[in-house]
Structure 1
Amino acid sequence: MPDHVNPRRNYRSPAREQQARHTRTAIIAAAHQLFLSRGFAATTMNSVATESGVAVQTVYKAFPNKAVLAKAVFDNAIAGDDESVPVVERDQLTKVRTEPDPQRKLRLYGAFLARTAPRHVPVQLVIRAAAATHPEAAQLWTQLQDERLAGMAYFAADLDRAGHLRTGITRSEARDVLWTYNAAEQYELLVLERGWSSRRYGSWIAEALIAALL
């Protein structure tokens, strides 16, 4: 290449990136509201575009289909924002992961569930309801359950390595117990149907896990 020819450079515009992030956040917020008010089937990409004030092509550019958009809505709900930092690396779960006392660890986890479940469980229930009749929702529901099971397997292994599990409780059993207690259905039954507060729900989950595992 001649010396006077500059190699092509990747052009990054902070203003453009900020605008793209703002647009993505607006799309997710609009989809969240529509999923909860209309359900999965009745929420179209066109309606999300209208609600968020962008062209439908912009929605498809960020999210190629409704299932991908719904997953983004769920991820945003559980994290509380659309930042790229994984939930497991956020401050709340870092405190759970690094807490040496097993009872306090599970109580911190219960408090985490109490704070986050009101945001993400309603989204999960929308996806679960649609899964019976919509293949893309069914596939997404399965993905959410698989991801949750993987997370609980990691949690159970952490408890086991530290010697916190009661004698006779295997990693796989601990994983399944954790997976059962942190399911959306627990929040649905206790908070949405029986009227418990989120705080009472989180405290009950923690004490139930302590009794079942430690």
Structure 2
Amino acid sequence: MSEEVKRSYSSPLREQAALQTRALVRSAGHRLFVSSGFVATSMRAIAAEAGVSERTVYTHYRNKVELFQDALNVAVAGDSEPVAMRDREFFGELLRVSAAQELIDRAVAGNVVVLERAGALIMAGVESAGADADMRRISDEGESAMRANCLAIAEALVATGEVLPSLDVSAVADVLKTMMSPHVHQVLGWPAERYGGWLAHSLKASLLTP
């Protein structure tokens, strides 16, 4: 009986410690992928950055690609829940906004938050795509997901009746995907408030009727 009680108490503690260690390793990987690039970053270097053994890193991640993917997913979503951006509550709420300017404001606000967390890591993957097949796959998947999200936002914008008549849903999605991309965010290198203000103003000027 005492053994069963001990196990029931210690198991949650072990699970919590494992989650904390995984988060530590993930954060270390995120930092090194951004500063050194995916190809140049080794699991040994990640272990040193996290302050754990290399064996511990491999306990949580089978390989560097799996670690990068997890770091990217968490950075984009803001948590470790396995729920795509498109399926999250805030995205559904965004698509139900009936006024075009408010819809753009909300979309931009969400985009700024995501790029502040994940923009540099996304670009680290893009920059490594030419030298690594897994990075190419991850980058392509990210591009496809962003295109699908932008198409959904574009449909909602066109449905407001406030979009320029010369633009169809596909064209609106093209503009959104281009201007909200991590590439533009990185090239500008502006503080979040300035970047968000510029992006919202530029999208409204490009997409909406006067």
Q: CA deviation at 1:97?
A: 3.6
Look up the match of 1:185.
Answer: 183
Look up the match of 1:19.
Answer: 17
RMSD over equivalenced CA pairs, Å: 2.6
Evaluate the alpha carbon distance shift between residue 199 and residue 108 of structure 1 in structure 2; reply closer, same or farther with a 3 A threshold. same
Look up the match of 1:37.
Answer: 35
Distance 1:19 1:85 in 2: 23
- SS of 1:41's partner is coil
Q: CA deviation at 1:125?
A: 1.8
| 1:50-199 paired onto structure 2 within 5 Å | 50-84=48-82, 86-88=84-86, 89=88, 91=90, 93=91, 96-191=94-189, 196-199=190-193
Evaluate the alpha carbon distance shift between residue 46 and residue 90 of structure 1 in structure 2; reply closer, same or farther with a 3 A threshold. farther
The letter for the 2-side match of 1:199 is E
Contact 1:106 1:210 in 2 (8 A): yes
> TM-score, normalising length from structure 1?
0.79
Contact 1:71 1:140 in 2 (8 A): yes
Contact 1:30 1:52 in 2 (8 A): yes
Bigger Cα displacement from structure 2, 200-209 vs 110-119: 110-119
Distance 1:163 1:65 in 2: 49
Contact 1:127 1:140 in 2 (8 A): yes
Distance 1:145 1:65 in 2: 23
Distance 1:103 1:75 in 2: 29
Look up the match of 2:4.
Answer: none
Contact 1:111 1:203 in 2 (8 A): no
Q: State which of 192, 196, 199 in structure 2 corresponds to 1:205.
A: 199
- SS of 2:74's partner is helix
Bigger Cα displacement from structure 2, 12-21 vs 173-182: 12-21
Q: CA deviation at 1:185?
A: 1.5
Contact 1:39 1:126 in 2 (8 A): yes
Q: CA deviation at 1:211?
A: 1.8
Look up the match of 2:3.
Answer: none
The letter for the 2-side match of 1:202 is G
Bigger Cα displacement from structure 2, 159-168 vs 97-106: 159-168
Distance 2:166 2:136 in 1: 35
- Identity of matched residues, %: 29
> TM-score, normalising length from structure 2?
0.80
The letter for the 2-side match of 1:200 is R
- SS of 1:43's partner is coil
Distance 2:19 2:160 in 1: 40
Contact 1:96 1:106 in 2 (8 A): no
